[in-house]
């Protein structure tokens, strides 16, 4: 996951510091939607075929996704002050680390939390899509705060789930399954952290 975050950051900064590249990517709506569609497609591909992919292929697809995400997120360096971005990321990293540790160490059964979180995430996506048309500031704030809460919960839940799946695979001596779980686990936690960062940035960020 760390490697993916580093790649995302590097790609985002390279695109943000090159106006020609930025214009080529974001001036064409088809390219933007194609980029977003490709990211969604990669997530679905990895999730659906993870049991058939080799660990190397799964890892390669994860890094491809991370690079694409870097291109998409490069826009934040244009919209927000660099200091604000740093503050939001520091806050996100601290919160994420604490919640991930909590998920790894808790003895509680979090199974029942999964359906609640995924239903909430679906509602969040619908609200975000609706606000594209309504352009409501109040709804934007509501979505941002709800997003922080939901992805905080998902960080704990996913950390716990990945630990349980890895432990089971280790007990069965299935090293291939351990590698595959590592790949899909890295993707899930990466998405949790990135989304948590985006929502925190939308709350505390100072726009240029």
Give per-residue pLDDT as tens, 170-187.
999 888 888 888 888 999
CB-CB contact of 96 with 196 (8 Å) = yes
Q: Mind listing the pLDDT tens digit for each residue in 94-118?
A: 999 999 999 999 999 999 999 999 9
165 CB-side CA count, 13 A: 17
182 CB-side CA count, 13 A: 15
CB-CB contact of 1 with 189 (8 Å) = yes
The total of other beta-carbon atoms located within 10 Å of residue 16's CB is 19
Domain range summary for the chain, segments of one domain joined by +:
1-79, 81-208
- Higher-confidence residue of 87 and 25: namely 87
What are the residues whose beta carbons fall under 8 Å from the beta carbon of 63, sequence distance 6 or more? 3, 4, 7
Distance CA 5, CA 8 (A): 5
CB-CB contact of 191 with 62 (8 Å) = no
Is the pLDDT assigned to residue 2 strictly greater than 70? Answer: yes
Q: Mind listing the pLDDT tens digit for each residue in 119-159?
A: 999 999 999 989 888 889 999 999 999 999 999 999 999 99
């Amino acid at each position: 996951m760390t490697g993916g975050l580093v790649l995302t950051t590097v790609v985002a900064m390279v695109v943000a510091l090159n106006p020609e590249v930025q214009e080529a990517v974001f001036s064409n709506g088809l390219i933007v939607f194609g980029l977003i569609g490709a990211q969604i497609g990669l997530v679905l591909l990895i999730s659906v075929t993870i049991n058939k992919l080799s660990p190397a292929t799964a890892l390669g697809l994860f890094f491809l996704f991370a690079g694409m995400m870097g291109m998409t997120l490069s826009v934040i360096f244009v919209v927000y002050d660099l200091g604000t971005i740093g503050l939001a990321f520091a806050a996100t990293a601290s919160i994420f680390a604490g919640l991930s540790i909590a998920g790894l160490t808790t003895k509680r059964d979090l199974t029942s939390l999964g359906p609640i979180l995924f239903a909430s995430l679906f509602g969040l996506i619908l609200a975000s899509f609706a606000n594209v048309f309504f352009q409501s500031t109040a709804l934007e704030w509501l979505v941002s705060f709800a997003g922080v809460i939901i992805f905080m919960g998902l960080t704990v839940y996913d950390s716990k789930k990945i630990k349980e799946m890895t432990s089971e695979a280790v007990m069965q001596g299935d090293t291939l399954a351990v590698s595959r779980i590592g790949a899909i686990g890295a993707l899930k936690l990466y998405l949790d952290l990135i989304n948590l960062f985006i929502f925190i940035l939308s709350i505390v960020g100072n726009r240029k």
